[in-house]
Chains A and B, each alone.
Chain A
């Protein structure tokens, strides 16, 4: 399992300050989640597409992820157009497709894709550590920020441990089947992961105490907001005002 972030070559989005990006992402999410008119959503989706092109993600990764999160939306398309009452636009046997249903699902599809593409563009251009520091600058409580940091930091370690345990099971000829033995083995695997993590967390705590940890990490560098950051924030705000105007 590789949880390294997908990152392409550097571009404009990479250069922006993490705090500014966090604020922009929050603003865009809040506006787009509440949109309902198709034309406003189209503009939002177009804006997300511009961002995702700017993020320069590898095309294959992008396509796989877009298909993956659209699976659930496709599942909803199977039902909603037929079950939402409204004006009939199409009929197969006893099932009638309503204009309201199609409109509702079009809204969901556009909104969902606009939001997720924007999220991908953000994550592909911002290291998680920079986001953690941005959270601190935006006054997220220390404990929550450290919890976020620790969880992220140890996912890779624990997933290595998981791989080690699964290898050990395979060497002993474990084959997953639908039976109690399989479930018990997986449960013990979960238990062992938890026990190892618990012991690891005690060692981490002692190591931090030894190094005089007093509840906060020292800041090594102070970042400045550049002119580019300010311009980007203004552009995002203008685009959002435009979208809200179209929404009416």
Chain B
């Protein structure tokens, strides 16, 4: 899901950085300092969960879970995702500092959109509705993130079209899996710990 360092053009990087800065600033403003430990520890949980490799036929894929992050954290997903991306860059060299803005926008904007689209449904009565909200959330957030990646690459250079198409098509099964896993995870949370869905930011 990361765009590597050195690929995007200057204007794309600057646009990404400005959008990310605005989103992070707003997310931080909405988050009161009491909820910093909660957002931080959940952000580390998502960091660890993104290292889980799920088999899909002969290959495997790792989870992204930005949709679920959006559902649980709301606007706070913006700073939480940026922090997780900084740590992935410094600990594993996935992505990096100059692409931090673009990558944050690609992951966090879908997260916040999912919060507004499916947040109410996920918090409503009934496990079936939560399952539906979860699937939609996982599927839509990953799709939007990939569209974001595609947009950033195509704005840099139109010739990226072929690799972008290959990445998009190969991710369709992964979108479905992300949906299934988000659905089950949300059902689990509804049964075991419904308080986790309460947002105080």
Binding site for B on A (CB under 8 A): 1, 3, 5, 25-26, 29-30, 32-34, 65, 68-69, 72-73, 75-76, 78-80, 83-85, 101, 104, 107-116, 119-120, 123, 128, 141-144, 146-155, 157-159, 162, 176-178, 180, 182-184, 186-198, 200-202, 204-205, 208, 215
Contacts and interface: CB of A to CB of B under 8 A. Distances in A.
A243 to B, nearest CB: 15
Contact of A198 (B36, B42, B92, B188): B42
A143 B28 contact: yes
A84 B47 CA distance: 36
B79 interface: yes
B80 A147 contact: yes
10 contacts: A76-B163, A79-B162, A146-B40, A152-B87, A153-B40, A154-B41, A158-B47, A162-B51, A194-B42, A208-B37
Specify the main secondary structure of chain A where it touches its partner. helix
B48 A182 contact: no
Given A119-B96, A197-B41, A189 B52 contact: yes
B51 A183 contact: no
Contact of A25 (B6, B33, B83, B97): B97
Given A144-B79, A198-B196, 13 more contacts: A26-B97, A115-B5, A142-B33, A150-B39, A151-B44, A159-B48, A187-B184, A191-B184, A194-B42, A198-B38, A198-B42, A201-B37, A205-B38
B74 to A, nearest CB: 14
Closest 7 CB pairs of A and B: A150-B40, A187-B184, A112-B6, A111-B6, A191-B188, A201-B41, A197-B45
In this complex, the member of A144, A200, A202 whose beta carbon has the largest number of chain B beta carbons within 10 angstroms is A144
In this complex, the member of A30, A120, A149, A186 whose beta carbon has the largest number of chain B beta carbons within 10 angstroms is A186
Interface in B59-112: 63, 65, 68, 72, 79-80, 83-84, 86-87, 89-94, 96-98
Nearest to B84: A151
Contact of B42 (A104, A157, A197): A197
A233 B160 CA distance: 37
A200 B193 CA distance: 13
A238 B180 CA distance: 54
A193 B13 CA distance: 34
B15 interface: no
